[in-house]
Amino acid sequence: MMLHRRLLLVLAASGLVLAGCATTPTTGEHPPIVFVHGNGDSASLWQSSVWRFESNGWPRERLHAIDLPYPLARDEDGKAQPGRSSTAEHTAYLKSEVDKVLQATGASRVVLVANSRGGYAVRNYIQNGGGSARVSHAILGGTPNHGVWAIKGFREANEFSGNGPFLTGLNAPKNAAGDEVTGPVKWLTLRSDNNDKFAQPDGLWIGAKGTPTNVSFEGPALKGATNLVLPRVDHRETSFSPAAFEATYRFITGKNPQTLTIQPNSPLVLNGKITGLGLRPTDPASGNYSNNLPLPGAQLAVYATDAATGARLGNAVHNKTVGADGLWGPFTAQTGTPYEFVISAPGYATTHIYRSPFPRSSSLIHLRADRPADADKSAKSSITLTRPRGYFDAMRDKMSFDGKALPGVPPAGAGVSSSKINLSQDGVRPIAAEFNGEKITGRTWPAADNHLVVLELTY
């Protein structure tokens, strides 16, 4: 009982309750693909994946990434919880989006590509929501198909429990061979060999080091599917890495992609949503939760910046007060130019987001207004380096933040996707980060004037 209580407290505090070859598709050479993000995430994580499909000739209008309004799972799946979604709500939203894509494209089936929790909705839709007649291929990256934990009596009402009712229902044998997947859909799972924080036999990443989770590295694999191992990738890279794209493309089409490199295009037009954060209604002091709802009335200014110093190169090149849809564009960007996106909205800090140059057009450049954490309010400047499409691995990646090792990143394992520096010195100066060749330079805006700085990696 003490172990169960300790795990519950740690998970609640940290937000870790998810924070072969196929035949050619029957829906044509380029079937519509619907991308499904993971727990607490948004459609924006598929940005580089969409670019890679486009770079291999996939029509942009046949690539659709969904935005679940409330992307965090409930603590107990069957109990309503403000700002969170149940498995039933998740599945119903996916079904609605698939119906829209089929109607818009005239196709009879779609391909579903999902990361992490998104794979649960895909499986539930195909098995229990009529999706088996509307889906040709299902590709699941890093989905914890046998749970993040499988501890008897511990949080079994949560959808991530391997011995809870949701996953035991999905994993029940479908035929005499004991297959866990539903036909006639063709299934592919992609997993790490041992570097996925949510497929670990030890409870380190759920705050219980030394405690068996009863889940193995093979937890994402499914009997009856094609199961591929991508060496050393982390939880998100099971979907968003070049290796994941290559395996996904080959599974859908039966052939290798022509290129793994994102090909530039012109004109370079960017767009996306501005979203915010919700306060937890039951306990506002406990902090914020992620949602993908538009933030109407937010103001955005975009500045071209100097790659070496982060300084603005003149006046804003784009301004907009967003409406009910939250869209901040379209904005025609310059090839090879890094940009600073500045969001201002009531109840939020002025949020400065720095990005490296964009190679292609995208409508998935979502931006989130932020609030300072209580622990950061005494800093002169607070700067966060974030990698939305992967984690930081000190043993694998070449990286630096303000010329040093990344604070908060452990010496081994890939379980952290952001790093924060709180400066104690006054003044505005350049602050740079590098990750495996991608470089971003921002400025240290003063926290005393309610500014926050984010350096956001693309790859």
CATH classification at residue 365:
2.60.40.2190
Q: Does residue 327 share a domain with residue 393?
A: yes
Strand order in the sheet with 110-115: 63-65, 33-36, 110-115, 135-141, 186-192, 226-230
Instruction: Report the pLDDT value the prediction gives residue 207, as an integer from 0 to 100.
Output: 83
Q: Does residue 199 share a domain with residue 330?
A: no
Q: Does residue 309 share a domain with residue 193?
A: no
Instruction: Report the pLDDT value the prediction gives residue 208, as an integer from 0 to 100.
Output: 83
Give the CATH number, domain containing residue 179.
3.40.50.1820
Number of domains composing the chain = 2
Last residue of a domain, one of 253, 288, 320: 253
Q: Does residue 272 share a domain with residue 247?
A: no
Does residue 259 fall inside a structural domain? Answer: no
Q: What residue has token string 């539930």?
A: 124
pLDDT in tens, 231-286: 999 999 999 999 999 999 999 999 999 999 999 999 999 999 999 997 544 444 44
Q: Does residue 321 share a domain with residue 364?
A: yes
Cα–Cα distances in angstroms (integers) from residue 363 to residues 50, 51, 274, in the given order: 10, 11, 12
Q: Does residue 201 share a domain with residue 94?
A: yes
Does residue 447 fall inside a structural domain? Answer: yes
Q: Does residue 143 share a domain with residue 31?
A: yes
pLDDT tens digits, the chain, 459 residues: what are they?
333 333 433 333 333 333 333 333 434 689 999 999 999 999 999 999 999 999 999 999 999 999 999 999 999 999 999 999 999 999 999 999 999 999 999 999 999 999 999 999 999 999 999 999 999 999 999 999 999 999 999 999 999 999 999 999 999 999 999 999 999 999 999 999 999 999 999 998 888 899 999 999 999 999 999 999 999 999 999 999 999 999 999 999 999 999 999 999 999 999 999 999 975 444 444 446 789 999 999 999 999 999 999 999 999 999 999 999 999 999 999 999 999 999 999 999 999 999 999 999 999 999 999 999 988 989 999 999 999 999 999 999 999 999 999 999 999 999 999 999 999 999 999 999 999 999 999 999 999 999 999 999 999
Structure tokens at 387: 């990698």
CA-based nearest residue to 272, from 324, 331, 334, 225 = 331
Element spanning 254, H or E: none
Q: 396: domain range?
A: 268-456
Q: Does residue 276 share a domain with residue 244?
A: no
Does residue 261 fall inside a structural domain? Answer: no
Last residue of a domain, one of 218, 253, 288: 253
Q: Does residue 338 share a domain with residue 207?
A: no
pTM above 0.75, yes or no: yes
pLDDT in tens, 49-102: 999 999 999 999 999 999 999 999 999 999 999 999 999 999 999 999 999 999
Does residue 439 fall inside a structural domain? Answer: yes
Does residue 258 fall inside a structural domain? Answer: no
Q: Does residue 327 share a domain with residue 183?
A: no
69 contacts: CB under 8 Å, gap ≥ 6? 85, 93, 291, 292, 293
CA-based nearest residue to 228, from 236, 218, 241 = 218
Q: Does residue 11 share a domain with residue 111?
A: yes
Does residue 203 fall inside a structural domain? Answer: yes
Q: Does residue 331 share a domain with residue 388?
A: yes
Classify strands 299-304 and 318-321 as parallel, antiparallel or unpaired. Answer: antiparallel
Does residue 40 fall inside a structural domain? Answer: yes
Does residue 262 fall inside a structural domain? Answer: no
